Structure 1
Amino acid sequence: MSRTADGPAPLEGIDRALVVGLGASGMAAASALRAAGISVLVVDDRDDHPGAAVLADLGAEVALGAVAVDRLDDVDLVVPSPGVPEHAPVLRAAAERDLPVWSEPELGGRLHPRRLLAVTGTNGKTSVTELLGAMLRTAGLDARTCGNIGTPFTEAAAEAPHDAVLVAELSSFQLRFVHRLRPEVGVLLNLADDHLDWHADAAAYGAAKARIWIAQQPGDWAVANASDATTLALADRFAPAGRATFDGTGAVSGIGVGVVGGALVAATPGFGGRLLRVDELTSDAPHHVANVAAAAAAALLAGVDAGAVADAARAFHPGAHRLELVAERDGVRFVDDSKATNVHAAAAALRSAPSIVWIAGGLAKGVDLSALASELTAVRHAVLIGTAASELAEVCAGVGVPAEGADSMEEAVAAAVAVARPGDTVLLAPACASFDQFSGYAQRGERFAAAVRALDTDPTSSGRGEPR
């Protein structure tokens, strides 16, 4: 077995592991376990997967089309892929047998300890992870973003030199099964109902997110959202380390980063004072300012120079499919926020423009969409897609917003164009996951953008339609 600088074997007592699922996380976990000399059985309910041959070449046993719960004999550890819900039969059976269950980041953290900064939350975690990584790199550090963004945690940890810093985006799925993973700074951005088809209920979802702090020790930092009472309460309940907060609209009390007089202002042990003006950022949208405040708080608490934090914040552009302006046509703006895969994110997007033609829908993930009713004040018309279309139609009807259905993204864009008028924003903010119609939110956003751009090349397009 491999050993770490801490001395003891990180997988002591584990001779055989069951990896459930052959996605990116499962592949990374199985490869790392084999490299550590552990016997590995990988189970996937699909009948075919290109990764099976790769793992077989590494000496892993691969059982395609098998039922994981039937393969727990002679297993010392279970590593589930993120898609395996906590109520899955294999995980219930593992608990009954007192078998340890680790997520792939937990495994990677044990095998390859590195400096770690971690980010979670219902919304914004990808942007904040990218921002935080950029701040560290601007300061000259070798920062590797990983986890739920790009490279699997275990793979990134194995490849990173010992003086590197991992900046990990961690989902509730991954955090549910961490035990010793210890970020020196752990950020919980916000919390709203999401993934209730995976977690038992909203309380279980929140408790899973709060596990980002479970292994912290004195000298570490737990960062919570000063404007989100739920994250503050979770920090009070779960975080054993120092506390800090961030706020994108106002000042913070105590340690953290907030907004005062149109500027981001920090109060941290290493730096206190103004970082930069809000109007120096590439966007002054409230969610972006909050993201910058969160990343800045984490970076400063990790010892990054304030100048590097400010320089990186000024240069940072939010990623694709996050309130991204695709085109402006006949006085109508077309904005892609396909990353708004839940109610909380869609609500923020719906506050971003004064007059909206809204394209929404997809897979609701067990979440009650009725909370959106109060957010539709700027919506003139809705075009609804996917399996949640009927539920969203009821929400719209309840507040008097006209709505129609569409069978494809191309039909949805055409319907939106037909009712849009100068001054409107045609906004893709689905409030739902994409997997009922698309491979992911990125493909959904790309289809939206392609349909918008095709309007100017389609000879049958008559331009902006009349309101109806």
Structure 2
Amino acid sequence: MKMADYQGKEVLVLGLAKSGTEAARILLDLGAVVTVNDQTPYEENQAAKELEKLGATVVCGSHPDSLVHGDLDLMIKNPGIPYRHSLIQKAMRLSIPVVTEIELAWQIAPCDMIGITGSNGKTTTTTMTAKMLEGGMKTPVAAGNIGEVASKEAYRATSEHVLVVELSSFQLQGTRHFNPHIAVFLNLVEAHLDYHGTMEEYASAKSRLFLNQSEEDFLIYNLDDVEVSRLTVDAKSRCIPFSTSSAPKGGSFLQNGMIYILGEPLMRVEDFALPGEYNLSNALAAATAAVLAGANREQVRRVMMTFSGVRHRLQYVDTIGDVTYYNNSKATNVPATVKALEAFGNRKMILIAGGLDRKLSFQGLKDPMNQTAKAVITYGETAEQLAMTAKEAGVPTILSAETLQEAVEQSRAISEPGDIVLLSPACASWDQFKTFEERGECFIEAVRKIKEETP
């Protein structure tokens, strides 16, 4: 189905929020017959009211079974709505395509697309890639989870643009023909099993990133990640590995203190701006994608030497009394926190961790806690489990708090000059916060308050 094919087609948009609202606007503009269905009551639903004025049929407050019928051509679902939803199940029984707006974005984009996914590092890599492409052959536009809705940016793009799209497993599971010219697969660890059910289903969703690629397309993949390497072995695209531990031929890697991109030296490792091997890994992926998309190598080098990171991703917050504070609120799983703990070498730190209890193991934190943590402060639903892990790791000081603000105050009381206070929760934020961004802002505000109260 291409752009012209939407004329007169019956489309149900299930769930509005940002992505559903933009998809509905575009489909109406393309001549589709659009019905939008959202749980929020009509009286409180400004987006639904605006779409109604544009010609959409609006059903709010409930999900009537009659919305899905034999004449329906397509359902576009909000990525967060699980597939067990009754309307989605009915659509699937009737063989009605069920997609996310990422599929729509790819269909209507008049330009090349770089698709970036992975369990961790997506936003950092997407941001770096877009910055590296600035001043190059095409104008980069970052979209997806990182900012503007992908379909909105695709609809207003021209052939002179290149879309750099951050993709979640939720979005990718709802694709059918989606095919970015350049795909980047960063890593894969256990995550979102409450949505996908099993690790196999999660991996399958991620693999849709390159499922439809051909030998004319590129797949940039992490050779150091066993699962990623296994999943990409049968890819039809031109596969380009990146690695921080080996030097794959024709790929991107580190060797003798130098960073190589596509087999060619770019710069010294010591000149890279961000701490941690995982940031180097993300940078290798970003630089490889950017160069393949036509970036100037000098611009790639400049970004790698000056990039200061992304908010809530190992973000430097402040230094107060020679104690340095880092906000890594985006670390919603154990591997992300492990990488953060390893990023600072042998410097001792006070780790603040905790959040939503997804019944996952924290055993992977034991060794890095033992090696780097002088203290661990836990809070939230997982406070007790994380405190037990810290005890098993032999951490000298273990404290628990009711809230993140209280945890930051406790860190102030036990910190000494030269320490790092690191918020890296290893858990989702939804026990006390709506988003990881809100959690990160809470940490930043708590640090700001400490600075105000410090003589």
TM superposition score normalised by structure 1: 0.90
Would you say the 8 A contact 1:138–1:309 is kept in 2? no
Structure 1 partner of 2:13: 19
Write the distance in 2 (CA, Å) between the matches of 1:337 and 1:24. 25
* Matched residue, 2:111: 114
> Against the structure 1 CA distance between its residues 67 and 453, is the aligned structure 2 distance closer, same or farther, given a 3 Å change threshold?
same
Residues 20, 80 of structure 1: 8 Å contact kept: yes
Shift of 1:144: 0.6
Report if aligned partners of 1:128, 1:294 keep a CA contact under 8 Å in 2: yes
For residue 233 of structure 2, give the secondary structure of its aligned residue in structure 1.
helix
Whether the aligned pair in 2 keeps the contact of 1:245 and 1:252 (CA below 8 Å) is no
**Within 2, Cα distance between the matches of 1:352 and 1:183?**
31
Counterpart of 1:325 (choices 316, 335, 351) is 316
1:194/1:367 contact within 8 Å kept? no
Look up the match of 1:466. Answer: none
Aligned-partner SS, 1:34: helix
Are 1:355 and 2:336 counterparts? no
CA distance in 2, matches of 1:68, 1:152: 27
Identity of aligned residues (%): 33
8 Å CA contact retained: 1:138, 1:312: no
Distance in 2 between the 1:18 and 1:303 partners? 38
Contact kept in structure 1, 2:134 and 2:295, CA below 8 Å: no
Q: Deviation string for 1:302-343 (max 9, x for gaps)?
A: 233333322332232211222222222333221111121221
Q: Does residue 131 in structure 1 map to residue 122 in structure 2? A: no
In 2, are the aligned partners of 1:281 and 1:313 still within 8 Å (CA)?
A: yes
CA distance in 2, matches of 1:404, 1:223: 42
1:426 matched to 2:417? The reply is no
RMSD: 2.1
Matched with 1:30 is: 24
1:451: Cα distance to partner?
1.0
Q: Is the 8 A contact 1:87 1:198 kept in 2?
A: no
Cα distance between partner residues in 2 of 1:165 and 1:68 = 40
TM-aligned CA distance change 1:180 to 1:3, over 3 Å? closer
1:203 corresponding residue in structure 2: 200
Residue 67 of structure 1 is matched in structure 2 by 63
Residue of structure 1 equivalent to 2:380 = 386
Write the distance in 2 (CA, Å) between the matches of 1:265 and 1:177. Answer: 35
1:399 corresponds, among 370, 393, 412, to: 393
1:56 to 39, 52, 56: 52
Deviations 1:390-449 (A, max 9, x none): 332333343344533322222111112222233322110011222332232222112112
Query: Which letter does structure 2 place at the counterpart of 1:133?
Result: A
* SS at structure 2 position matched to 1:279: helix
**Separation in 2, partners of 1:97, 1:156:** 31
Aligned to 2:171: 174
CA shift at 1:293, angstroms? Answer: 0.6
Alpha carbons of structure 1 residues 97 and 381: separation in structure 2 relative to 1, 3 Å: same
Number of residue pairs the alignment of both structures matches: 448
Q: Does 1:294 align with 2:285?
A: yes
Q: Taking structure 1 as reference, are residues 55 and 422 closer, same or farther at Cα in structure 2, changes over 3 Å only?
A: same
Give the partner amino acid of 2:339.
Answer: A
Could you say what secondary structure the match of 2:82 adopts? coil
- Please give the alpha-carbon distance, in whole angstroms, between the structure 1 residues aligned to 2:115 and 2:20: 20
Which contiguous aligned blocks of 4+ residues in structure 1 show a shift greater than 6 angstroms?
none
Q: Indicate whether 1:344 and 2:352 are aligned.
A: no
Which region of structure 1 is more displaced relative to structure 2, 53-62 or 220-229?
A: 53-62
Q: Which amino acid aligns with 1:319?
A: V
Name the amino acid aligned to 1:104: E
Aligned to 2:445: 450
Q: Does 1:246 align with 2:239?
A: no
Q: Verify: 1:368 aligned to 2:356, yes or no.
A: no
Residues 177-198 of structure 1, C-alpha deviation per residue, up to 9 Å, x if partnerless?
1121111110000011111111
- Report the Cα distance in structure 1 between the residues aligned to 2:227 and 2:209, rounded to whole angstroms: 15
Aligned to 1:229: 226
The answer to whether the 8 Å contact 2:110/2:158 transfers is no
Would you say the 8 A contact 1:373–1:396 is kept in 2? yes
CA contact (8 A) 1:357 1:382 kept: yes
Assess if the C-alpha contact under 8 Å between 1:197 and 1:366 holds in 2. Answer: no
Q: CA deviation at 1:3?
A: 5.8
Residue 34 of structure 2 aligns to a residue in which SS? strand
Q: Deviations over 1:334-362 (max 9, x none)?
A: 11111212212111112234322111112
Letter in 1 for 2:417: P
Measured after TM superposition, the shift of residue 84 of structure 1 is 0.9
Cα deviation, 1:11-56, whole Å, max 9, x if unaligned, reads: 48x7211111111111111111111111222222222322111111
Secondary structure in 2 aligned to 1:198?
helix
CA deviation after TM superposition for structure 1 residue 155, in Å? 0.2
Provide, for residues 276-324 of structure 1, a one-character-per-residue CA deviation record: whole Å limited to 9, x for no partner. Answer: 1122222242122111110111122223333332233223221122222
Shift of 1:365: 4.5
CA distance in 2, matches of 1:407, 1:284: 31
Worse overlay, 57-66 or 310-319? 310-319
**1-structure distance, mates of 2:64, 2:337:** 36
* Superposed displacement of residue 242, structure 1: 0.7
Normalising by structure 2, report the TM-score.
Answer: 0.92
Question: What SS does structure 1 have at the residue aligned with 2:227?
Answer: helix
Check the 8 A contact 1:83/1:173 in 2, yes or no: yes
SS at match of 1:117: strand
Between the aligned partners of 1:392 and 1:52, the Cα distance in structure 2 is 43
Taking the TM superposition and a 5 Å limit, the aligned residue runs for 1:303-322 are: 303-322=294-313
